[in-house]
Amino acid sequence: MNNVKDKVVVITGASSGIGEETVSLLSENGAKLVLGARRLDRLEKIQQKIGHNVSIKKTDVTQPDEVNALIETAYNDFGRVDVLINNAGLMPQSFLEKNKQDEWNQMIDVNIKGVLYGIGAVLPYMRKQKSGHIINLASVAGHVVFPGSAVYSGTKYAVRAITEGLRQEEAAVGSNIRTTILSPGAIDTELTDHISDKEMKQGIDEVYKDAIKPDAIARAINYAINEPEESSVNEFIIRPSSQNL
C-alpha cells in the first residue's frame, strides 16, 4: 500500500534537518513536493537532486503573504494540496531572567503564527476538495516544561492546542481533513544552533549528545500520510531511547 504516491505535499522549513529528510523520503515514495524555506540556495540544491515533481518557493513563515504564495504555488503547479507539513521552527531557549525579548518574539512569530498562517492559507483549498492532511511539528517540550524552556514550551503547547482545535472543528463539519501532531525529542538538526544563552546551551547540548537522526521523524510523517483516508494518526512522540526528558 502506497497512499503517499502522487500526493501533493507542501513542507515549510524544507531546506535542512527534519524538513530535508522528509523531502527525501516522500520523494522516494512518489509524492509531488512544494518546498518552502528562507534559504533559497538550499532549496535549489534539493530541487536539482530530486529532479522532478518538485517546486520551490522562498518562504518566511512569519510573513502571511509568503505563506499564501507557497500554497498558491502548489495549487498552480499541481492543481491541489493534499498535505501541509508545518515544520519550520526555532528553539532559542533561555532562562527568563535573561529577558531575551527579541528571541521570545521570534519564537512566537515562527512557532505559533507560522503554523496559523499555514493553516489559514491551506484550509480553503482543502475544504473545497473535501480532503487534506495538516501535520504540525510540536516538541517533547510541548508536553513537559523545564527550566529555560518556558517560552519555547509555551509555543509548542500552543501548536498542540491549535492542532487539536483544528481536528475537532474539521471533524464537526465533515471536511475529511486529517490532523497530526508530531513531537520530537532530541533530534540531530540545526535547532540547537539558535540558542544564544551559553548557560542554557550547555545543558541542552548534554541532552542532545544522544540525539537521533531526523530520518526517524521523516518515517513517522510518511507513516501518517500513508494511512488510509478514513484513519487519522493524531499524535506521535518520538525521542531517543536514552532520553529521560
- Per-domain residue ranges of the chain: 8-231
What is the pLDDT, as a whole number, of residue 193? 84
Q: Where are the beta strands (DSSP E) in the chain?
A: 8-12, 32-37, 54-58, 83-86, 132-137, 177-184, 235-238
CB-based contacts of 15, cutoff 8 Å, min separation 6:
35, 37, 38, 39, 42, 43, 46
Known catalytic residue: 125?
A: no
| CB of 173 closer than 8 Å to CB of 162 | no
The three cell numbers of residue 70 are 507557497
Low-confidence ranges of the chain (pLDDT < 70): none
CA distance 48 to 54: 9
CATH 3.40.50.720 for domain 8-231, yes or no, is yes
One-letter amino acid at 12 equals: T
What is the pLDDT, as a whole number, of residue 4? 98
For the whole model, what pTM was predicted? 0.96
What is the pLDDT, as a whole number, of residue 245? 81
What is the pLDDT, as a whole number, of residue 240? 94
Output phi, psi for 166, to 5 deg.
-60, -45
The three cell numbers of residue 79 are 492543481
- No. of helices (H) and no. of strands (E), the chain: 8, 7
Catalytic residue among 117, 125, 152, 208: 152
Residue written as cell 472543528?
169
